[in-house]
Homo-oligomer: A and B are copies of this chain.
Amino acid sequence: MEKIGFNLERVESLEDLLLELKRVGFSATALSKGYEIIQRMKEEKALTILTFTSNMVSSGLRELFAEVVKEKFVDLIITGAGSIEEDIMKTHKPFLLGSFNLSDSELHKRGINRIGDILVPNERYIWFEKFFTRFLEKIYKRTKIISPSDLIFELGKEVKDEKSILYWATKNNIPIFCPAITDGAIGLNLFIFKQDHRDFSIDVTGDMKKLANIVLTAEKTGAIILGGGFAKHHALGINLPRGGLDYTVYVSTAIEEDGSLSGARPREAVSWGKINQKAKFVSIFGDATIIFPLLIIPFLKKKK
């Protein structure tokens, strides 16, 4: 059995740190195992699924996700509508660092929206509305019915920003799935657009085949699941028909006791066959804004 005890002398690089944390116990060991599992996932050339929640694109992780897609480190993404619209807004102007403790009434008066300690002026949304409506007009000329992932692929053609997730996703043909595409500004804009374009529709069933084709034909599959929500559930669910994921890393701040899917540990997915019982998996307790950079930077630096 391995001995507990951190040895500072062994740590020169970030990768050294990740490996040495294994000898600490608790979440540090989980983080270290997560790093090893991703290593194996890549060595075994497993199809790599990345899921994240929209607030992570609000955060500065957006640029890291873009790097990950640029470097083709992942094969497909599942995320929320907010991720799509905010990635695009940021091609226009950045979000700003505020604080959790600002007066929300005051912010509201000034037309500034708060996401934790991140500030998004209304101007970003107004710009997006114009951008997106123009885009919809263009799409509408070509088709009256489209799936969310196809819509997102087309959106990626419209952005010219090397820091954008969508830019690289389209360029590298890495599909982004978003089963709840109307849950955001996109939805409100579609509501307005539809008043004059009644026959325009987004068919969510369209993506099931595309997603299934990719996942069910893969020899091995792995997932890096940041946070919970439907993005997590969707990544797990689509792996059920193929006998479950082979490699899985969860990063989460959610608790197990309330029975939520967001808080469920990988073990639970084994009962469903969503994670294979022989799979390598770990759940890392912590905020993805800290954990994800630690997990991924060593890989990105090696690629360069």
- A binding-site residues for B, Cβ under 8 Å: 1-8, 11, 14, 17, 21-31, 53-55, 58-64, 67, 80, 82, 90, 94-98, 100-102, 104-105, 107-108, 112-119, 145, 163, 179-184, 187-188, 190-191, 194-195, 200-209, 212, 227-230, 233-234, 237, 240-241, 253-264, 267-268, 270-273, 277, 283, 285-291, 293-294, 297, 300-301
Contact = CB atoms under 8 A, between A and B. Distances in A.
Contact of A286 (B30, B80, B234, B286): B286
B4 A96 contact: yes
A290 B286 contact: yes
A225 B14 CA distance: 24
Contacts of A117: 25-26, 29, 259
Contacts of A28: 59-60, 287, 289-290, 293
Given A270-B104, A271-B112, A287-B257, A58 B204 contact: no
Contacts of A293: 6, 17, 21, 24, 28
Given A3-B94, A17-B14, A26-B287, A230 B188 contact: no
B24 A237 contact: no
A231 to B, nearest CB: 9
A190 B208 contact: yes
A113 to B, nearest CB: 5
A104 to B, nearest CB: 4
B2 A96 contact: yes
Given A96-B3, A204-B181, A297-B8, A26 B272 contact: no
A233 B183 contact: yes
A185 B287 CA distance: 30
8 contacts: A5-B62, A25-B60, A25-B95, A25-B117, A26-B259, A113-B271, A183-B234, A191-B208
B277 A80 contact: no
B264 A258 contact: no
Given A113-B271, A297-B11, A255 B253 contact: yes
A289 B259 contact: yes
A180 to B, nearest CB: 4
B259 A285 contact: no
Contacts of A270: 104-105, 108
Given A5-B60, A201-B203, A277 B180 contact: no
Given A61-B6, A271-B113, A287-B258, A205 B230 contact: no
Given A115-B268, A187-B208, A21 B259 contact: no
Nearest to A275: B104
Contact of A182 (B26, B115, B163, B204): B204
A8 to B, nearest CB: 6
Contact of A27 (B63, B194, B258): B258
Interface centre among A117, A194, A201, A257 (most CB of B within 10 A): A257
Given A21-B289, A286-B287, A290-B27, A202 B200 contact: no
